[in-house]
Structure 1
Amino acid sequence: MKPRHQVSRAAVDLIKRFEGYRMKAAQLPDGRWTIGYGHTLTARGGASVTEQDAEALLLYDLIAVAHAVNEQTYTPLNQNQFDALVCFAFNIGLDNFIRSGVLRRINEGSLLQAACAMEMWRKADFEGERIVIDALVRRRSAEKALFLTPADGVWVAAPSPILRPKVDYDASCAVPKQTPATVMARFEGDRATIEREEGPAPILVAPADEAPSASEQAAAAVGARLEAILPDTPAPAPVVVAPLASRDDLVLPEPPVPAAAVPAAVLYEDFEETVSAPFRLTPEPVAPVTPTPVVEVVETPAPRPFVVEPTLFETATRTSPSVFNLDGFSTSEDVTLSAMDVPFTEPEAPRFGNLSLLVSLGVLGLAMFGGGVLWILTVASGPGFSQIKMFGYGASMVGAICFVVSAYLLLRKLGGPEEGDED
């Protein structure tokens, strides 16, 4: 029979340290009232309690918690493990404890994994978000330490000189992704308020004398090997490309204006306006320049002769007979053909179809004939297969007809045109 444990003084002191003493009843944000060391069952507004009575109320609340822990755990526990579970269940509630992974690990016999699973219960809902509370992190650590404390007080030596500890990456989920928030619970009259201390997140700096980790050592070894294989080479000098000048920066010289195109009076008037009076020059008369007339010579291309390419029926000049003009079609030697002189003749369709089609039809008919005969001799050879024999007879007849028709048409095509076809 599994022994039933009783709550010891260690569990009571642990709960009192983290719950805190409240002499007067205070209303929680969810509407409930609390008094003493986290007592909520009989707390009412305006009630007060002494420290001795608050401890008595705590012992009264722990009766139900200890009963639930004794009934739900099936693995033998020592007193420290039982006290740690009572503190844990008193904080998270009996409903959460029954469906928690801590109880599941304990009933599986994995006590060390159950102790590590306690640290997962470190978050709480505050101002509409679920955050990691620093007080819960410390409380879970104290409960885990009590759970792992040997009952006889004899600690087993850790084999650190023999086996060097390594980083357990599987326990990364126990490390909070955000900095735990410091939450302060204060009592103003008959109400309990919770405030978060605002401030910059602490920056964790590793000590200077700490030895490099295994990953850092491996990275340094890989870097040294790469430097030995690929020595540093001087980087090529950067190529400086001059910026392209914009359209505004490009100043194109204006084309010279011939003197004959601008009147002489206009030239001298502009010159006199730009030169001041003391330095004005007297222009010399300029002889008028008679512009030379420019005669444009437009070359007209000579007309290209219209040449008609020879066709299969006639040649371009009709000076020689065409390929198919075997009767000596006579025309004038000097007259060229035009596009209208070429007669339009439709190509003659094949008389008996394509030769390859006839050969394919013959091969198909021969195959059907042979298959039908083989079907009759093998598959339908037994008695009572008259209907199956009909299928073989039909296939052989169709094959024979196809073969005879293709052979006939092929012989006619190879024999040449008939006498009545010549005009």
Structure 2
Amino acid sequence: MNPFLNRRDFNQYTALGGAAALSAGLPFGLSAGIQGVGSASSLLAEEHAKVSFPMGKAEHCVMIWLGGGAGQIDTWDPKVKGDPKANKAGSYYGKIQTAIPGVEVCEHLSRCAPIMDRFTLFRTVHHDVIDEHAAATNRMHTGRPVSETVIYPSVGSVIAHQRGAAGDGVPAYVLIGYPSTTRGPGFLGSKGNYVYLTDTESGPQGFQPASVIRQERQARRNELLKKVRQLNTTEEKQALLKNYESMIDEAQRLAGPQFMRIFDLKSESADLRNEYGGEFGQRCLLTRRLLQSGVRFVEVSHNLNFLNGTGWDVHNDGIVQQHRLIQELDQALAALVLDLERNKLLDKTLIVVSTEFGRPAKFDGGGGRGHHGKCFSVACAGGGIKTGVAIGETDDLAMNIVTRPVSVPDLHATMYAVCGVNPREELYAGERPVPITDGGTPVLELFS
């Protein structure tokens, strides 16, 4: 199968041009010149061009990443309380009412619960990756399975590439966490890349030469680089050099005091810093400052240092201190929502609290939980769309979808549409067209 076509498009492609291509002894994709058949890729492009979706007006997007797999039944979709000692399936914690009538969340989300009218809960997100964290993380960032032929861009990179920065002197995409190909631009190249940092004590490192590199030494390096450019004359090597030079130019552009000033969190009041909480809260406060400066997309990794010993990957006794993670998320997330609202940025900013998969209702032999990808929750806030709603229903143990499934491509299509990006537009990996989503459709009821 052509890796750039989803199943629906592949079936249509086969019906329109595949048979004729095979009868002519040609592989798919070489059927464009066959008389009377036409180009399957152009037909698909025409089909995509006819599809129109409502476009939102959000200027920014924030993804809060709960690495390890946050259990829906212990956070956004609680059910009857279980008991690991008695091997009774269910939630680990009690549940509380929210500002959305009939919608409950975990008792440790007590700060978010009263402001849930600013939120949209997607309770029926699903994919088919179960036991591989890296593959599931890639799926939730790129919307596609890992491919042997192309590295797909992340949702952050696509938005950065399509929209660019919303202000001068700042990057379009900042990652507060460890760098990863999964978060990167894939075939989009440097224009969709991120600037990253792993703490809030200082700005990104490496934008300027080290102090030991004196001007004469830097000049020699530049001269050597010039000679390397002259030696690499092939189109492929020139493209790599152009990408490299683009990154160097961007680093030099950001090296000045304007961008670095954003990282001075001490310029904020002590009360506000305390409202956000500890290290993760300070990352979220920094996120607000980045958005105000014009950064288009920010991903914030939660709990880099495993507050409870295991992070969100709560097998065995890792679940015992899971409430500390939930409380830390609750404090920082609620503070970010209210802070953006006070600064009149909430309707302009889509917040997405995502994870690689959920957790089953049953407890494992050690009292914790395994992995569950076919039904889990993603919480959103702001964005100028319909809030105060929960999309989809799950069964009595949050294990199966009852109504309104939301695929990962659908979730990404919704994010793109909210941010004014057409989810069916085609990007190009070299000369090959790649739709931004794998056939995803936005959750249209949020735009009414």
TM over 0.5: no
* Greater RCO (Cα-Cα under 8 Å, separation 6 or more): 2
- Structure label with greater radius of gyration: 1
What TM-score do you get using the length of structure 1 for normalisation?
0.20
